[in-house]
Chain A
Amino acid sequence: MSLLSEHIPVLQVAVPLLSAPLCSLLRGVRLPWLLALAVSWFAFAISILLLIQVMDSGDISYHMGNWAPPFGIEYRVDVINAFVLLIISGISAVALPYARLSVAHEVDPRRHGQFYTAYLLCLTGLLGVTITGDAFNIFVFLEISSLSAYVLIAAGARQDRRALTAAYNYLVLGTVGATFFVIGVGLLYMVTGTLNIADLAERIRPLADNRAVQAGFAFIIIGMGLKLAMFPMHTWLPNAYTYAPSTVTVFLASTATKVSVYVVLRFLFTVFGPAYGFVGLTFEYIFLPLAILAMFIGSTAAIYQTNLKRLFAYSSVAQLGYIVLGIALGNIAGLTATVLHLFNHALMKGALFMALGCVALRIGAVSINGVRGLGREMPWTFAAIAGAGLSLIGVPSTVGFISKWYLILGALENSWWPVALLIVASSLLAVIYVWKIIEAAYFGVAPEGRGPVAEAPLEMLAPLWLMVVANFYFGIDADLTTSVAGKVAATFLGSGS
């Protein structure tokens, strides 16, 4: 047992990685799904153990193959990445029970083995990016997760052929982003001679004026900015989320961009630290305006969408704006909001895209005209959309409120009261697009020719409602999440100065 517990960090990544090829050998529809489900639950259990261990006894450092860092690859788990690991594996653990019927409906039955293989590889990549303590290793895992994400998105081609062009555009932009990241890592390696993140942080400290370090910083931030869909580098996101199979959208929208945010946080605070002049400047002059533009342009674009998946995809661009805004505030409250919103946004968007998947299962496409009058026929699904929508707006007693509360606290702490007002104003835009759906579903008249529609099956409603209840539970009892997020923010700002 002690031998096993010693190797927990590597099991987090190794188990999904090794079961992925196994999954491609399985035939049929049920077996690959069962394997993916078992692996996801296992990964979730491991990430809970890791978080408990980190909260109790501090950081864990695992030496891959027993090569001591900084020469060998180190897996390093502290509070922040234990928290992000929990988000990724938790979403996956909830999304997979939901996946079976939805994937059976949307993906070619002969391709399920390959589909779940790509899914497991994507999970591996995302977990790997988060857990590793080696900068080049981040790139490798990032590419594992991205390549499998392109495949997963293209799997939506059976429903709509635009999934292919969406996946292609994402591939081009994602590769440019990852390559920028690797250029940045190369420049840092050139100056410091190390790839281990903890070691890098130490060696970079006396080199703040070095041009190569500054260029490396810029390349890393731009590269990861592309991956996290920071405005105006978000153009790949709406189509990718719209045309991917529902389960894939649930999983990617809740996890993929969050992991990129984590990498940005890691480099901003652990490696560089806001004490460097050029890092502090990016907060106020780059992150702040881009975050505010994202909040408004994302939400405004969402209002004008007729495809509901695309509507929530644009809303994701706006929500990522809130996450970046928290970084830009640069104080403990702001950073707490960023870390909290990683978790909270995963809950809201997970629930919303799951609900849209339920609608897609029953009526095919999810357009605003298509859902007219559906509120009476699919009461549970649309009640879930309403609940998660309230959370998206940030109504008190939902998780969305907690995130925005900390954001506004952070803005006031800097006495940037116009920013605080803008946060409230952009929430009003969210009211408009959520109301648009509610109005169509509850007050609209069903389009002619649509027969009676049945409620979604329980197998899909149960995970959906689990997410909705979590939206309210963590909104009312926010002690657990805020204490973790506050601890993360304190470590980041403490280590930087």
Chain B
Amino acid sequence: MLDAIIAHYNYWLVIFLMMIGLYIVISRGNLVKKIVGLNIFQTSVFLLYITLGKVNGGTAPILTDKPETFSNPLPHVLILTAIVVGVATTALGFALVVRIRESYGSIEEDDILATERAEDEIAVNEALS
């Protein structure tokens, strides 16, 4: 049992990071921290892909004349794309947080929700009066 865990330790790390990331996204009310959680979550997936490209005893896949075992380069390429997507998501997320801060004056989810509820009540009262 213990051997199996140690032999696959990077998968355990991946799961650990994934859960931390997801937990931050769910539990934090601060909009910036949510994006940090999202980043950790995405990073765990990058690690998952890199891990599964590793071949035991394989070297870097560079063209040589000698027959050699290579690690699989494809997951690295895929993850380069995924990193770019992650950067774009983070940038867009932060841009939205900046705009939210400008118009609500807060980046705490609770404050924003309270503001929105107050607005709703005003709208309802206006409709009734």
Contacts and interface: CB of A to CB of B under 8 A. Distances in A.
A136 B45 contact: no
Max chain A CB contacts within 10 Å: which of B85, B93, B103, B104?
Answer: B85
Given A176-B22, A179-B41, A168 B96 contact: yes
B70 interface: no
A176 B93 contact: no
14 contacts: A139-B85, A140-B85, A143-B85, A154-B96, A157-B99, A164-B99, A165-B100, A168-B100, A171-B92, A176-B41, A179-B41, A186-B49, A186-B52, A186-B75
Contacts of A136: 78, 81
Classify chain A's interface size. Answer: 20 to 34
A171 B88 CA distance: 11
Contact of A179 (B35, B42, B81): B42
Given A136-B78, A367-B127, A171 B93 contact: yes
Interface in A148-166: 150-151, 154, 157, 161-162, 164-165
B82 interface: yes
Interface residues of B, number: 31
A484 B75 CA distance: 37
Nearest to A447: B127
A95 B125 CA distance: 36
Nearest to A178: B85
Interface secondary structure of B, over-half rule: helix
A151 B92 contact: yes
A168 B97 contact: yes
B31 interface: yes
Given A143-B85, A167-B96, A168-B96, A176 B38 contact: yes
Interface in A164-188: 164-165, 167-168, 171-172, 175-176, 179, 182-183, 186
Interface of B: 18, 22, 25, 31, 34-35, 38, 41-42, 45, 48-49, 52, 75, 78, 81-82, 85, 88-89, 92-93, 96-97, 99-100, 103-104, 112, 116, 127
A169 to B, nearest CB: 9
Interface in A341-372: 367, 369
Contacts, number: 72
Given A136-B78, A140-B81, A172 B45 contact: no
Interface string A129-149: 000000010011001000100
Contacts of A139: 82, 85
A162 B82 CA distance: 29
Contacts of B127: 306, 367, 369
Contacts of B42: 175, 179
B43 to A, nearest CB: 10
A380 interface: no
B45 to A, nearest CB: 6
A183 B89 CA distance: 17
Contacts of B41: 176, 179
8 smallest beta-carbon distances between A and B, as pairs: A161-B103, A143-B85, A190-B52, A168-B96, A164-B100, A369-B127, A164-B99, A175-B89
Nearest to A170: B96
Contacts of A278: none
B96 A171 contact: yes
A147 B38 contact: no
Contact of B88 (A147, A154, A190, A367): A147
Given A164-B96, A168-B96, A171-B92, 8 more contacts: A136-B78, A147-B92, A150-B92, A161-B104, A165-B116, A172-B34, A172-B35, A182-B45
A435 interface: no
Contacts of A154: 96, 99
A182 B99 contact: no
A369 B85 CA distance: 43
Given A162-B116, A168-B97, A179 B103 contact: no
Interface string A102-141: 0000000000000000000000000000000000100110
B9 to A, nearest CB: 17
Contacts of B96: 150, 154, 164, 167-168, 171
B108 to A, nearest CB: 12
